[in-house]
Amino acid sequence: MHSESLNGFEKRYQGYKPLVLIVDNDRDNLLFASCVIESLGIHHAVTDDSEKCLDLVGELLPDLILLDIVMPKIDGLEITRMIRRNKNICHIPIIAVTGLTRPQDTNQLIEAGCDDYLCKPYLIEELESKVSRLHLCALV
């Protein structure tokens, strides 16, 4: 059950397991992020297709989205903007995962609506810290 109507208290005591949607067009990056998220005891779903991402967000209502920014078809900035415009899913935290590290790049991430970002390549501890900061580990 991944319902936005459950508050943190209900999620902790009803056996709720948080879900992270990992979106990246590079399969190695998907595998790495999946292993880290799984090691934290958090459920995850993955896709390498930016167009399918939007359908999955609406269908699964994940607790967090790890979103690659440089993707074919629809880039991560546009996906973020689309999510933020949809009242049913706009509350879902988004962590951008990107190799773009210039100050203007990070400003674009924030302006688009990303809650945080990770610069590729990132360390396991960095991803764990970002997830912990969003309190997903408390739900496990």
Domains and CATH numbers, the chain: 8-139 (3.40.50.2300)
Q: Which residue has the higher pLDDT, 78 or 133?
A: 78
pLDDT tens digit sequence for 11-40? 555 667 789 999 999 999 999 999 999 998
Please choose, from the candidates 98, 121, 122, the residue with its C-alpha nearest in 3D space to the C-alpha of residue 108. Answer: 98
Give exposure, 46-68, as e/b (b: 16+ Cβ within 10 Å). Answer: bbbebeebbebbeebbbbbbbbb
Per-residue confidence (pLDDT) for residue 78, from 0 to 100:
97
Per-residue confidence (pLDDT) for residue 136, from 0 to 100:
60
Place of tokens 């610069």: 119
User: Strands 64-68, 19-23: parallel, antiparallel or unpaired by DSSP?
Assistant: parallel
Cα separation, 10 vs 18, whole angstroms: 12
